[in-house]
Structure 1
Amino acid sequence: MSETLANSTVREGDAGSDVAPRGTPVGSVGNVPVYGWGQAPPHLRTKTQLAADRLTVTEEQEKAPLAYIRTRDYGDVPLHDPAAAVKMRPLPSSTKARMAARRTCPECGKVRTVILRGPCSVCRERAEKERQRLLARTCAGCSTVRERPYSKEHRRCQDCRKEQLEKKRARIEAWLAEVTVCAGDDCTKRLGSKKAARTWLNERDWLLRPERTDLPDGFSGRPGWERRCPPCQEAYDTEQERLRAETQARYERQERERREAEARAAEERKRWAAAALADPDVLVLDTETTGLDDDARIVELAVLTARGEVLLDTLLNPGVPVPDDAAAIHGITTDALVGATTFSDVLVQLTGLLDGKRCLIYNKWYDVGRLRHELTLHYLDRSAAEATEEEAQAWAREQAATWLGAMQFEDVMIPYSDWVGEWSEYHGNNRWQALDGGHRAAGDCRAVLDCLHAMGESRGSEPSEGS
């Protein structure tokens, strides 16, 4: 506890004195009074204050404090009588040595007040100053170290400074030769003298100067150097305008093509939804599971026709408890599945319903994954007894893949989310829409049919003209 807390509860010379409380309790914890800040009995101490005097509370004191003091940062802090406290046992010399070693600087060997993870701050500052002094005496070009610091302007030795200036002069000469000749194609007209260009280059504050009319030939009223003669500049501006027009036309064409593609995709989604509702070979499937993990089990399975007729709606006993968080979502508890049928018991019926039919699923990747897991477990139970575990698992996975490959599953979530069109900048596509079906298998199947009706309501089963 902080020293401020200690000063707020104890006055100098009051230790052990039996005086009346300085304040009235502001509350209680059980039958123990709670005092406000600075109003606690002065003879009581916190555990931090007792530790400063090498005292510690007993187990009885820990369980039954005499009072509490209410603080803003630490809550209600218990207070104890120092007369009932016991002296702390002295630390073993080995423990003291280990504690001191953790606070010892490896550079200077001094023991600091805090635990160190490397050199102390004094040694780090000394090393940084030495590094800066060495850097000032090291040539930035050839890394030669000398006794005196180099010039702060360039930090180079004489030879490296000469080389640096020669390179700078060469760059300036190349620039002067380039800017004093028109940059237009096949044009060699002079734009001004090198002296004028050098003067312009040496004026470091030219960007801040107002427009001038007394500039030599080759300069404009703007703060910059003209790179083309007037005829070439006019031709350049014309070409740039043409390029801008082409870019704008290309952008407008791409936008038009994108809108047309979106319109075709929207029309295709409507056509697909309307055709699915009118197709007698279309079924809707949904499952409820024990969770979202890869080993989650199916606890409810429903299959409906496109007209809403229930072909299968049953609870399935997965043989494992249903987690509370999953049961809180769909309401199917472990007790509700006692005596329910299993996935293996309904597999033949499910196979007969889905065989040769189009099966629509909202987020088919998840439900198909749960079906794959259940099928794998089903075939694993029926694998040959003499097969090894690895062979049995490989055979079960192969049989599950064969079963799923014979079915025709189609997803509804992606087309419906694209139909809603709630764009997500984070994901870079349309946001997936939640299915409002009450989190029960049959209810979710009916919600899928509602999505199909919403997508295809603007058109019948026949395609519109011109599509």
Structure 2
Amino acid sequence: MSTTATVAGAAEIPSSRAETDPDRVPRGESRGEHEGAPVYGWGSAPQYLRTQTQLGEDRLRLADGQAPLAYLWLRKHGYVPLYDPGAAVKMRPLASSTKRAMAERRTCPQCRTVRPYRVRGTCCSECWKKEQRRQQRDYLRTCGGCGTVRERPYPEHRRCQGCRTEQLDRKRARVAAWLTEVVLCSADGCSVKLGTKKGAMAWLKDTPWMLKPENQGPDLSWRPDWPRRCAPCTAEHERRQAEILARYEREAAERRAAEETAAREAAEKRRRWAADALADPDVVVLDTETTGLHAEARIVEIAVLSSSGAVLLDSLVDPGEPVPRASSRIHGITDDMIRSAAAPTFSDLLVRLTGVLDRKRVLIYNASFDRARLRYELTVHYQRAASAAGEAPETAAASAAAWLDTMTFEDVMHPYSAWCGDWSEYHGDYTWQPLNGGHRAAGDCRAVLRRLAVMGRDGQGQAEEEEFETAAAGGGWGREAD
């Protein structure tokens, strides 16, 4: 390296010494600056600089206010500060009790040897390896049959003389039983010979050891590639298999026919239910818009339409709390709209709502959600009424349940999803279909009436539904009462 480069490199990082030291000169160009200090890549920084961890290994610590002279850029760690060890201060020597505690953590409980690492568990790694080697030696010196231990390792079969004799006798018996079985017809009650033991033994000699009968398990399920039945038994077996196959196909066809009949009956039942609901003057459709989907969400709009599309109730509702922005982005109802309309509370609408729903069949799309919102609003109403009357508020839940029990609610979402026929293997049920009513109470009620009208017609299919909705959008459904 030239003198000019040395001087320039030394000027780049201030030195705590006056003399020129080659270790203090950067070995590469910096990649830029970070917090006013140069940044170097791996192996390019001056050798004398140390990280904070390296200072600790040299029993040094950073002085108060000591700033880094440079940074080392590492892809996994980012900017690593580098410090001048000459400006660092020495650490105080450790206390004797601390040294003893550190040595005890590095001492093996078994061999009592102080290791250069902390010993975790019952022993150090060296003792663990010794124990594994000892267990391997004991395994090789132990008979796999009777468990007898001897000084020298057993052969590969790991059996003593007596256990080895018994093992070979069992193999011979299995081979003999196999020979007796394979030469006879395998059909029940038939003793016709299909081969000879000599031919079977010749097959055994040419067969790999893993395919031999003594290595195939106690059931002797594997068979050589020769006929296992005589000609009459083979014909009888094929006849029985053909009968079983024909019976299976006949039963499968009967099951399919029964399923198709049940599906047609269910579809016709849904069609009649939808058609009757539209023709029933005692049917009303209810929908609500809320402040959210949580258990304490409040109603901000409620609408009730008759089966003919006449609006019986359509009103904003003051929830008594701010409407979240996330909910407003869905249904478009804001606090300003509620204030400008001087919307009544749910308690103010309860008498009118009860009169509209009394002795009616109330159809709701996803009835479980709207019933839960009505239950919560009724509970809040009765709690306030009980507090005003000086009664116990615990009766509010019972009063809300009694109000709901007097009503007749029917869900439209489940029969409509079954009508669409979009089966979900994951849920084991039909996929719930979106209502697409615009997320306003009255609009959703009109969308429910359109769904019922489509279901009540003959035939089914998404194309037919879209065609009918397009025609219904121009008029007919959704006429408000005068």
Q: State the TM-score, normalizing by the size of structure 1.
A: 0.72
Contact 2:290 2:301 in 1 (8 A): no
Where does residue 214 of structure 1 map in the other structure? none
Give, in angstroms, the shift of residue 227 of structure 1: 2.1
Of the two, which has the highest radius of gyration? 2
Match of 2:126 among 112, 122, 139: 122
Give the gaps of 5 or more residues in structure 2. Answer: 1-8, 19-23, 212-222, 461-482
Contact 1:271 1:459 in 2 (8 A): no
Q: Report 1:270-285 matches (<5 A).
A: 270-285=271-286
Give, in angstroms, the shift of residue 348 of structure 1: 3.1
- Using the TM superposition, name which of 272-281 and 226-235 deviates more: 272-281
Give, in angstroms, the shift of residue 141 of structure 1: 2.5
**Paired residue secondary structure (2:154):** coil
Where does residue 173 of structure 2 map in the other structure? 170
**Paired residue secondary structure (1:189):** coil
User: Cα gap change, 1:422/1:87 in structure 2, threshold over 3 Å: closer, same or farther?
Assistant: farther
User: Cα gap change, 1:232/1:314 in structure 2, threshold over 3 Å: closer, same or farther?
Assistant: same
Contact 2:31 2:40 in 1 (8 A): yes
Give, in angstroms, the shift of residue 224 of structure 1: 1.5
**Are residue 363 (structure 1) and residue 358 (structure 2) matched?**
no
Where does residue 159 of structure 1 map in the other structure? 162
Deviations 1:93-137 (A, max 9, x none): 656555555554444444343563554433333322222222222
User: Cα gap change, 1:142/1:50 in structure 2, threshold over 3 Å: closer, same or farther?
Assistant: same
User: Cα gap change, 1:89/1:275 in structure 2, threshold over 3 Å: closer, same or farther?
Assistant: farther
Give, in angstroms, the shift of residue 237 of structure 1: 1.2
User: Cα gap change, 1:374/1:241 in structure 2, threshold over 3 Å: closer, same or farther?
Assistant: same
Contact 1:191 1:229 in 2 (8 A): yes
User: Cα gap change, 1:223/1:16 in structure 2, threshold over 3 Å: closer, same or farther?
Assistant: farther
User: Cα gap change, 1:236/1:107 in structure 2, threshold over 3 Å: closer, same or farther?
Assistant: same
Where does residue 315 of structure 1 map in the other structure? 317
Q: Report 1:39-50 matches (<5 A).
A: 42=46, 46-50=51-55
Partners in 1 of 2:70 and 2:42 — Cα distance? Answer: 13
Partners in 2 of 1:363 and 1:445 — Cα distance? Answer: 12
Where does residue 287 of structure 2 map in the other structure? 286
Q: Which amino acid aligns with 1:144?
A: T
**Paired residue secondary structure (1:176):** helix
**Are residue 150 (structure 1) and residue 154 (structure 2) matched?**
yes
Give, in angstroms, the shift of residue 408 of structure 1: 1.9
Give, in angstroms, the shift of residue 232 of structure 1: 0.7
Deviations 1:394-429 (A, max 9, x none): x44433333322222222332233333333332233
Where does residue 219 of structure 1 map in the other structure? none
Please report the RMSD computed on the Cα atoms of aligned residues, expressed in angstroms. 4.3
Partners in 1 of 2:69 and 2:435 — Cα distance? Answer: 58
Q: Report 1:35-434 matches (<5 A).
A: 35=39, 37=41, 42=46, 46-57=51-62, 69-78=72-81, 101-109=104-112, 110-113=114-117, 116-153=120-157, 155-205=158-208, 224-293=225-294, 295-305=295-305, 306=307, 307=309, 309=311, 311-317=313-319, 341-382=344-385, 393=394, 395-434=395-434
Q: Which amino acid aligns with 1:133?
A: R
What count of residue pairs does the alignment treat as equivalent?
A: 426
Partners in 1 of 2:259 and 2:45 — Cα distance? Answer: 79
Q: Which amino acid aligns with 2:317?
A: L
Q: State the TM-score, normalizing by the size of structure 2.
A: 0.70
User: Cα gap change, 1:170/1:39 in structure 2, threshold over 3 Å: closer, same or farther?
Assistant: closer
Give the gaps of 5 or more residues in structure 1. Answer: 1-8, 209-221, 461-467
- Using the TM superposition, name which of 337-346 and 401-410 deviates more: 337-346
Contact 2:287 2:302 in 1 (8 A): yes
Contact 1:33 1:67 in 2 (8 A): yes
Q: Which amino acid aligns with 2:361?
A: R
Contact 2:108 2:119 in 1 (8 A): no
Deviations 1:10-47 (A, max 9, x none): 9xx99646989864654766xx4673635987476554
**Paired residue secondary structure (2:300):** strand
Give, in angstroms, the shift of residue 189 of structure 1: 1.8
Contact 1:357 1:408 in 2 (8 A): yes
User: Cα gap change, 1:138/1:379 in structure 2, threshold over 3 Å: closer, same or farther?
Assistant: farther
Q: Which amino acid aligns with 1:129?
A: R
Contact 2:288 2:303 in 1 (8 A): no
**Paired residue secondary structure (2:225):** coil
User: Cα gap change, 1:104/1:242 in structure 2, threshold over 3 Å: closer, same or farther?
Assistant: farther
User: Cα gap change, 1:71/1:194 in structure 2, threshold over 3 Å: closer, same or farther?
Assistant: same
Deviations 1:65-94 (A, max 9, x none): 676554422234455566665555666665
Deviations 1:200-245 (A, max 9, x none): 345424999xxxxxxxxxxxxx952422111110111121122122
Q: Which amino acid aligns with 1:416?
A: Y
Partners in 1 of 2:30 and 2:354 — Cα distance? Answer: 78
Give, in angstroms, the shift of residue 298 of structure 1: 1.9
